[in-house]
Amino acid sequence: MHTSLCKSLHLDNSGVPIYVQLREQILRSLGAGMLARGDQMPTMREVAVALKINLNTVRHAYDELERMGAITLIERRGSFVAEPPPPLGVRARAMQIDSLARQTLATAAATGIDPAALADRMKVLAKQNE
Contact (Cβ atoms closer than 8 angstroms) between residue 80 and residue 41: yes
Distance CA 45, CA 48 (A): 5
Are 75 and 82 in contact by the 8 Å Cβ rule? The answer is no
- Ordered by where they begin, the domains of the chain are 2-81 (1.10.10.10), 90-128 (no CATH)
Q: What percent of the chain has pLDDT over 70?
A: 94
At residue 46, does pLDDT exceed 60? yes
Q: Indicate the pTM of the whole model.
A: 0.67
- Residue 11, C-beta contacts closer than 8 angstroms, at least 6 positions apart: 18, 21, 22, 51, 53
Give the pLDDT mean for 8-19. Answer: 83
pLDDT digits (tens, 9 = 90+) for 58-108: 999 999 999 888 999 998 899 999 987 667 788 887 888 888 888 888 888
Cα gap 106→96, rounded to integer Å:
15
